[in-house]
Chain A
């Protein structure tokens, strides 16, 4: 058990930093500052901010957790997380920026001028945000209970207490800077332990005398064994991987906290460049949890998913819930692998410091993703119900964290990366058709968009509920737990079918709106 004081100090530093940036010299001066940072954010800053926003608990703790739990299977998750931005670059980045829409409901209005569709989109966006905040709060709870022995409710409360003032005071401008810095903090928080652990293991291996390396299993075993060696082979494994890849590639397109960031780009071409930079930043980051996940398999005791020597502590290990959820290998235990790793390699102060670094980085992840989500939900709530006032934005922000805090308090631990993958399936099915077909197909009708959105939202969430009810080890449960492969095509097909064969015709403005989305800004200035 590492000493709680170092961890608490690191977490406190991260929190103070986040608040200081928003209260300090970066206060928003105008409403435009507040909402879109006055559209003056350069690509590298924007890319760092989006990466800071996007790399959540699932990426920071969850990826290593999945590698510990599933072995090589877990490596496909970060590929999907990154590939989501590839899709965003290919189909959404520049057109969305050119649309000038700040939120998805704005985009729906631009395309269809329909209050009904606008309300529905807003509802789905708010639901997505809520679903996404919950795993962040779980992660915060897990971090503080694993490393500092705090009760489960402390972590979420700390996150909420830091995020709310930050967002309330500063809006988008301060959040952009804070998140850009938080990306680099997260990177360092994994890089530093990674380097130190590698050096230590290297030295132990060369001198050969350490008790640690004596107890280590041969490297070959790391690749072979996992907690679930038999769970995912053959057709089920292929189905799950394909489904996951599709969900992650399509789901990013509908994430409100990511989309809202694109409105801070100066123009469409800059939006593309930002996304390309972002792909590099994400690739750089994901190498680290992958390496650390493999190390965790090597070093950690068997009880926690690793192959290493018997545990000497493990007192704070979250007991594995016995009902199946995705990656139900004691979802919490596997996700905590990263937090336990430094202490398993280093004894004494060095271990404490490294655990504190990881915990601090994890908190940066929860804080940045949460504040991004809260900003985007608050933006939608404000525009929907308070005609876009800053006061409405603030009320929205309070609503955006209040409900997940309640939900998070009652739901049990679900593996972080698995829970986030479910949110991706939901957004891809519910919002994918509206965004992608709305941008690229002039034949889309309002009825079609509504059909796709409702069917996607209802079918994907029903399927996930059924899957969770069945438990992962029931035959056929994979089909419900990872519904993306049939659910996303279904909602797209319905959208196209209703648009094509329904009685409604596409809006007259479709042609003009599509021209606005796709023409470069210079050509638009001419055809004004």
Chain B
């Protein structure tokens, strides 16, 4: 109820007291992070985190992509082996004088692996970029990538 009485209610001395106790304001001791400088909250660039749901969705997407490509390749190997070893006619087909059972395992799988790998890198990077855009971190990503 009773406020602690000011030692001296007169205005001038009050101000002097405050001046004596004034603390000089300084900037933060550490330099601001690039994100802090570049993110403008008024334009909607706010730090946000990915929600657990978004993380799950990303994981599920990447897993589906991997299983699709990996299982696909494994089955392709098994099926082609089965074809080459059972269908008798294929062994007589030659490419530049080399029979098919030699040509296929010797050269055909490697371009497929590189192609599959390229597709995967593209698709998984795109999925990550989509997530970053959704949570508004795409600009921050640009900053981070700069060495």
Contacts and interface: CB of A to CB of B under 8 A. Distances in A.
Interface string B94-137: 00011101100111011101101110110011001101100101
Given A273-B121, A440-B63, A525-B144, A519 B114 contact: no
B70 A86 contact: yes
A269 B109 contact: no
Interface in A480-512: 511
A72 B102 contact: yes
Contact-residue bracket for chain A: 35 or more
A522 B143 CA distance: 9
Contact of A526 (B69, B106, B109, B140): B140
Interface of A is mostly: helix
B8 to A, nearest CB: 50
A272 B50 contact: no
A269 B70 CA distance: 19
A91 B59 CA distance: 11
Interface string B25-37: 0000000000100
Given A249-B74, A273-B121, A279-B113, 6 more contacts: A83-B109, A249-B70, A520-B131, A522-B145, A525-B35, A527-B49
A223 B70 contact: no
B140 A83 contact: no
Given A237-B85, A276-B117, A518-B58, A90 B66 contact: yes
Contact of A79 (B52, B70, B77, B132): B77
B84 to A, nearest CB: 8
Nearest to B139: A522
B82 interface: yes
A523 B50 contact: yes
Interface string B58-75: 110011011001100110
A82 interface: yes
Q: Please tell me the size bucket of the interface on B.
A: 35 or more
Nearest to A76: B105
Nearest to A268: B128
Contact of A276 (B63, B98, B121, B129): B121
B135 A246 contact: no
A449 interface: no
A89 B120 contact: yes
A75 B107 CA distance: 9
B100 to A, nearest CB: 10
B132 A514 contact: no
Contact of A91 (B70, B85, B110): B70
A223 B99 contact: yes
A523 B105 CA distance: 42
B110 A283 contact: yes
Nearest to B33: A525
B52 A511 contact: yes
A440 B144 contact: no
Contact of A515 (B55, B62, B73, B135): B55
Interface string A241-284: 11001100100000000000000000001001101100110010
Contact of B107 (A76, A287, A522): A287
